[in-house]
């Protein structure tokens, strides 16, 4: 096992020293809407992200079509190398803390090399909301959950890019014994460039059958991505309220057909902490 780990680390280290010339940028930012894209921060680059999700528009005028209800996530991502990014975040939804590591394995290039970009990402998250039943025996590990994804993308031309995301979400605690701890899903996302600075983006995750309880739906999100100097603005419509993988992949209860759609946005700001892009 130690030899295998050594070989893997060595290969990754060699891969990380490869030249960046000719890299194809599939997406303009590290997030699509809720999920990650294959893109990473550049070495020494810090990304500050504010994500906001409002309630469902089917709440009507009384809830101001969802504006009265909202959740927010604030995060910081940092590029250790051009291929390796780490990040931390805190969401108001169940008062969740999350951390991730993201590594670019293969990069699509303009001439030769890999025809696709491949990025691996692992996320750990911790719910800190007060226990619903504090008098019973509660375990810290019950608050933890994990997600592992392989992001595979290809930019076909100047306008169109596609990404698929095989994913596994592990939950340490589940509602009842009939529900699986490990949930396997397949995500798909796309980007179509509308103008030089504006693009249409969409993503969805299909959870394989017999893994979730009744009442959960496929998370589907569409949005507009606007690029400015130093900032990225993403406005979206989605039936998913949570902004970590466990919530939007395995716990989406709203249904598009019933008007369970909420407005949302991501705002990102990039900083150079050290080095040059």
User: Which residue would you say has higher pLDDT here, 245 or 177?
Assistant: 245
Dihedral of CA 137/247/164/107: which sign?
A: negative
- Per-residue pLDDT tens digits for 229-276: 778 999 999 999 889 999 999 999 999 988 899 999 999 999 888 765
pLDDT value of position 115? 93
CA distance 218 to 156: 27
Q: Is 170 helix (H, G, I), strand (E, B) or coil?
A: strand
Look at the chain and count its residues.
277
- CATH ID of 42-128+138-272, from 3.40.50.2020, 3.30.540.10, 3.40.50.1820, 2.40.160.40: 2.40.160.40
Side-chain-facing half-sphere of 185: CA atoms under 13 Å: 29
Q: Which two tokens stand for residue 57?
A: 């528009």
Q: Which of 223, 168, 204, 192 is nearest to 51 (CA)?
A: 223
Q: pTM for this structure?
A: 0.86
Q: What is the largest CA-CA distance in the chain?
A: 63
């Amino acid at each position: 096992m130690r030899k295998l780990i050594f070989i893997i680390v060595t290969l990754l280290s060699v891969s990380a020293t490869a030249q960046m010339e000719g890299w194809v940028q599939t997406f303009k930012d590290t997030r699509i809407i809720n999920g990650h894209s294959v893109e990473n921060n550049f070495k020494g680059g810090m990304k500050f992200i504010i994500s906001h999700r409002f309630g469902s528009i089917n709440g009507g005028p009384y809830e101001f079509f969802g504006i009265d209800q909202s959740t927010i996530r604030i995060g910081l991502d940092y590029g250790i190398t051009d291929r390796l990014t780490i990040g931390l975040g805190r969401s108001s939804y169940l008062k969740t803390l999350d951390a991730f590591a993201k590594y670019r394995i293969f990069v699509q290039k303009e001439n030769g090399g890999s025809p696709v970009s491949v990025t691996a990402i692992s996320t750990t998250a911790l719910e800190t909301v007060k226990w619903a039943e504090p008098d019973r025996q509660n375990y810290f590990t019950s608050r933890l959950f994990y997600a592992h994804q392989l992001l595979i993308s290809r930019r076909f031309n100047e306008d169109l890019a596609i990404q698929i995301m095989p994913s596994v979400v592990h939950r340490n605690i589940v509602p009842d014994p009939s529900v699986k701890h490990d949930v396997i899903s397949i995500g798909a996302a796309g980007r179509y460039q509308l103008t030089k600075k504006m693009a249409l983006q969409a993503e969805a995750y299909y959870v394989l059958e017999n893994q979730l309880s009744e009442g959960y739906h496929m998370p589907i999100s569409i949005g507009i991505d606007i690029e400015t100097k130093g900032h990225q603005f993403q406005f979206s419509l989605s039936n998913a309220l949570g902004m970590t993988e466990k919530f939007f992949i395995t716990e989406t209860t709203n249904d598009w057909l019933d008007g369970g759609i909420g407005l949302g946005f991501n705002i990102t700001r990039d900083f150079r902490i050290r080095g040059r892009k």
